[in-house]
Amino acid sequence: MKVNKKALIFDMDGVIVDTEPHNMQQVYAYVRSLRPEVPVGEMYQIVGRTSKDVWTRIAGIIGRGMNWEETRRDYEENWKPWHPYPVNYREIFRKESLTILRWAKEQGMLTAVASATAYDKVKAILTEVGVLPYLDLIISGESVKRSKPDPEIYVKAAERLGVLPQECIAIEDSTVGITAARCAGVTVVALKDDRFGFDQSLADGKIAELREFLDWYSQS
């Protein structure tokens, strides 16, 4: 990490807010209502991906002959209203992310979130937890043609920030997110998570908790 870093990019789900268990459990309950024999491990592949990728995979797992849009609509209209799963984002917010963002601003770094989640949802969550004012950019899965693990979202984030990918550092957790950042040429630090079988071997560094990031950065 010898190149001077000019930008810090966060993933959101699983990093700033620990949404992944909640999101996966609700979708898994839907899948099991149709195919009770499906093991939870089949769901790990959806973590960190765009809505289209998630529901394409879910449609394949269910095997009812519906495409991804029909499957998502069935979930949203026919199942979810009767099985609410409210999420308190403030309760699962990792407050250390604010400390890191404030530090980045003090260093003169640009800040961004690069998330596979839809833009409106990303903005709403980041507003609720108080992160939005510290960001220069939000880039979502809707902004790219190819989702993570393709590097496009990180290449585009660097471009919009006006820096080179090599001048960026990212904090990610999922296999697809780490792969996307690394393939873009971004230095990537993995927030360890043993719940979903993530492969974090491509990360330049690993931290057990967000609060360890600043020590890692200063020593790298």
Contact present, 172 and 203 (Cβ < 8 Å): yes
Q: What pLDDT, on a 0 to 100 scale, did the predictor assign at position 51?
A: 82
Q: What is the pTM of this model?
A: 0.86
Four-point Cα dihedral 82, 88, 92, 94, nearest 10: 140
Q: What pLDDT, on a 0 to 100 scale, did the predictor assign at position 3?
A: 57
pLDDT exceeds 80 at position 147? yes
Biggest CA–CA distance in the chain, Å, is: 53
Return the minimum-mean-pLDDT range out of 12-16, 20-24, 88-92, 122-126.
20-24
Q: Which residue has the higher pLDDT, 146 or 101?
A: 101
pLDDT exceeds 80 at position 120? yes
* 195 band by pLDDT with thresholds 50, 70 and 90: confident
Distances (CA, A) of 184 to 9, 52, 128, 211: 13, 22, 30, 25
* 123 band by pLDDT with thresholds 50, 70 and 90: very high
pLDDT exceeds 90 at position 183? yes
pLDDT exceeds 90 at position 12? yes
Return the minimum-mean-pLDDT range out of 54-58, 152-156, 179-183.
54-58
pLDDT exceeds 80 at position 2? no
Per-residue pLDDT reduced to its tens digit, 43-101: 887 887 778 888 999 999 999 899 999 999 999 999 988 988 888 999 999 999 999 99
Helix (H) or strand (E) holding 187: strand 187-191
pLDDT exceeds 90 at position 217? yes
Q: Residues 6 or more apart from 122 whose CB is under 8 A from it?
A: 12, 113, 115, 138, 140
